[in-house]
Amino acid sequence: MNNRQKSALLEILNDSVIFDAEMASYSTLRAGGRAEALCFINSLALLTAVMGFLNRESINCMAIGKGSNLLVMDQGIKGAVLILKGELANIRGRSGNLVTAGGGVSNRELIKYCIQEGLSDMEFLAGVPGTIGGAVMMNAGAYGKETGDYIEKIGIVTSSGIAEELFGSGINFSYRGSSVPERSVIYSVTIKLRNDERAQIKERVEKNLSMRRASQPLDMPNCGSVFKNPQGDFAARLIEASGLKGFKIGGAMISRKHANFIVNMGDAKASDILALIEAARKRVKEDSGIVLETEVRVVGQ
């Protein structure tokens, strides 16, 4: 990004840009390099303006939510990283059983709202520390439920800066993925929920959170499940069977509590984490013949 492009970005975003931003604070793994420009976007008008500009200038861009499924490599991200704020990170409200939220709303806030409103079905996302935009992109799921099952429609801005609406029925949701175009940004999500007793919804949320506390290493930086579960098996079982619990490279370790989690012991480089991912993949393949696919998204260089 040259100086003219940087000045233009500052002007469009009223200075809400950090150049050469360290991304470890924006990723739950607390590791990784810098982004050329980290842009905070408060409105749909600004989002379309910024994406149109980046497209015309051929500058790469990607949206992130809470960075809870991201490994940012040590040499960082070339181009712009977009974070949704303001009205793009607020719950807009409900119309009957439909709730509309900005793509940057955290799952935690959304679930809190659902409890207040007596609306059920988002309980499975309790303890998934991302945004609803990230949950749609990843088709986040737990306990046999997936985000895609509850999507009425989403608002996106395409990589060329055009705002569009997509209906849930027209999106192809798969295991930890969706057909939402990769470089588009989900700025709004409308979910379809059911009425239920507040106390019961709250109880299910608490139960899910306590199951996670019991089984996941939540006291250390991590990105949730590193690998997808292969058909008919569990990545954690395979990694544990290969004797890799507690295996370390640099500052990264395969969790002793949950073998499909890698934890940052404090000073892990992204390259340590990636090396550990590759080592686990290699050992599991040698021992079981199964090639594990990553769930965590590796970005940057």
Ligand X SMILES: Cc1cc2nc3c(=O)[nH]c(=O)nc-3n(C[C@H](O)[C@H](O)[C@H](O)COP(=O)(O)OP(=O)(O)OC[C@H]3O[C@@H](n4cnc5c(N)ncnc54)[C@H](O)[C@@H]3O)c2cc1C
28 binds ligand X (CB under 6 A): yes
User: What separation in angstroms does the CA of 192 have from each of 123, 147, 185, 209, 263?
Assistant: 13, 11, 21, 23, 35
Q: Are 58 and 78 in contact (CB under 8 A)?
A: no
32 binds ligand X (CB under 6 A): no
Active-site hit among 30, 34, 176, 283 = 176
Active-site hit among 178, 188, 225, 255 = 225
225: annotated active-site residue: yes
CB of 53 or CB of 300, closer to ligand X: 300
Query: For residue 12, what are its two tokens?
Result: 């469009």
For residues 222 to 251, the per-residue mask of contacts with ligand X, x marking binding by CB under 6 A and - elsewhere, is xxx---------------------------
> Exactly one of 32, 33, 76, 134 binds ligand X (CB under 6 A); which one?
134
Among the listed ranges 17-25, 36-44, 58-66, 240-248, the one in contact with ligand X (CB under 6 A) is: 58-66
Least gap, CB of 135 to ligand X (angstroms):
4
Q: Which residues of 139-165 are buried (b: 16+ CB within 10 A; e: fewer)?
A: bbbbeeebbbebbbbbbbbbbebebee
Q: What one-character DSSP code corresponds to residue 239?
A: H
Query: For residue 283, what are its two tokens?
Result: 């050992």
CB of 7 or CB of 25, closer to ligand X: 25
For residues 251 to 280, the per-residue mask of contacts with ligand X, x marking binding by CB under 6 A and - elsewhere, is ------------------------------
Distance from C-alpha of 171 to C-alpha of 156, rounded to nearest angstrom: 12
Distance from C-alpha of 252 to C-alpha of 226, rounded to nearest angstrom: 13
> Exactly one of 135, 193, 252, 270 binds ligand X (CB under 6 A); which one?
135
AA identity, residue 197: E
**Tokens 């709250």, residue?**
202
185 binds ligand X (CB under 6 A): yes
190 binds ligand X (CB under 6 A): no
208 binds ligand X (CB under 6 A): no
> Exactly one of 21, 71, 89, 140 binds ligand X (CB under 6 A); which one?
140
Nearest residue to ligand X, scored by beta-carbon proximity: 65
Distance from C-alpha of 103 to C-alpha of 110, rounded to nearest angstrom: 11
Active-site positions?
Answer: 176, 225, 295
